[in-house]
Structure 1
Amino acid sequence: MWRVVQDAGAVTARRPGPHAFRRIGTGTRLAFPQGTIFGAPWIELGDHCVVGAEVTLTAGMMPDLELGPEPVLTLGNGVVLGRGSHVVADARVHIGDDVFFGPYCYVTSTNHSYDDPAVPIGKQWPRSAPVEIGPGCWLGHGAVVLPGARLGRNVVVAAGSVVRGEVPDHAVVAGSPARVVRRWEPGTGWQPPLRTPAPVPVPDGVTPEQLVALGELTRGADGPGAGTLGSGVE
């Protein structure tokens, strides 16, 4: 019986239900139950998209606003949005072809401001900036993309990462805030992962000044690890 309900409640181009989307492409399907959807006349969904259950798609800060002649939220062809994801487009959000979201990702073009410490943050006027996610990207479970972010082509966002700013093509980013940990370069291929040097243990009774002096003495020495003690302290 549940499968019958799921099929009957799915949204497609032939069965848009109550949602007057600007466009629903051929083969695109929004699974039942849908999450919050408003501003549908300013939302374009490309061909052969898969939108999981309980996914939120919104254009505008609130329902029933007039948002002008251009689309605000655009999904390219072949986009997959995992269960429980949210795409909140106050300013323009564009998601390119063949972008895959894991479950519970969050993309927004609007965030709260914090200009007056005496006023509750939720009551302060938000700030907006367009978001663009290039074709072929993959966002892992729980990834967050903040206003103004621009992801290049074929970018991987690790699970739980928080992305802001610009991310180059063919990069792997991780962390909060997300940083590039690996990148593919034309002609040279994959570059090695960025590594943070391990902290240098400090022997008992040795002062930082003595360690710096020792590092200066060993900086030019031959052999593996030469000078690492000094550079680790400095």
Structure 2
Amino acid sequence: MLPGARIGRDCNVCDGAFVEGGAVLGDNVTVKNGVLVFTGVTCEDDVFLGPNVLFTNDMRPRSAIKRGPEALMSTTVRRGATLGAGAVVVCGTEIGEHAFAGAGAVITGDVPAHAFVVGNPARQKGWVCACGVRLDETLTCPECGTRHERLAEGGLRAV
């Protein structure tokens, strides 16, 4: 971790992870081995970053052009979201609360709350509960019984 990085309480940052100055990790964030979290990335509380998750922060990188922090784009991972092993998050995106990106997903746009996304580029394949189980067609969790409703902005919330 570099100076200027903000790390919350009870975080688990594993071997080989890099958290750059200007990055923010909330409370109870898990950062598995080999994760790269750069300036401008904010992970709220209870986020899980699987092994080798990679965030970007410059949409137009050039070795010969040195851009300051004001030119970097931010990314926000909302409370309770999970990014599977090897996921790549292109800067300027927001990943909604309790969203779940499968291993190897390449996230190039916003991900709604409770969405389950996979692939390159990541596409939504369904919905997940806060407990991590895929929701059925009635948006009810078959494991914990939590019901969900659609939000106007496209995601879900538990009711």
Q: Normalising TM by the smaller chain, what interval?
A: 0.7 to 0.9
Deviation, structure 1 residue 188: 3.3
- In the alignment, structure 1 residue 123 sits paired with structure 2 residue 64: yes
Give the residue type in structure 2 aligned to 1:85. V
Q: Which residue of 1 aligns with 2:94?
A: 150
Alignment of 1:77 with 2:39, yes or no, is no
Residue 172 (structure 1) aligned to one of 116, 123, 135: 116
Q: How does 1:49-128 map to 2 (within 5 A)?
A: 49-59=11-21, 72-89=22-39, 92-113=40-61, 121-124=62-65, 128=72
CA contact (8 A) 1:112 1:122 kept: no
% identical equivalent positions: 30
Deviation for aligned residue 1:73: 1.4
| 1:44 correspondence with 2:2 | no
**Cα distance per residue 1:77-133 (max 9 Å; x no partner):** 1000000111011xx2210111111111111222434xxxxxxx5435566211000
Q: How far apart are residue 179 of structure 1 and its match?
A: 1.1
SS at match of 2:55: strand
Which protein is richer in helix relative to its size?
1
Rg: which structure is higher? 1
Gaps of 5+ in 2: 129-134, 141-159
TM-score by length of 2: 0.74
**Would you say how many aligned residue pairs link Structure 1 and Structure 2?**
130
Counterparts in 2 of 1:175 and 1:124: CA distance versus 1, 3 Å: farther
Computed over aligned residues only, the root mean square deviation of the Cα atoms, in angstroms, reads 2.1
What residue number does 1:224 align with?
Answer: none
Supply the distance in 2 between the matched residues of 1:179 and 1:52 (Cα, whole angstroms).
29
Q: With CA pairs under 8 Å and 6+ residues apart, which has the higher RCO, 1 or 2? A: 2
Alignment of 1:177-196 (within 5 A): 177-183=121-127, 188-189=138-139
Secondary structure of the structure 2 residue equivalent to 1:167: coil
**In structure 2, C-alpha distance between the alignment counterparts of 1:82 and 1:154, rounded to whole Å:** 18
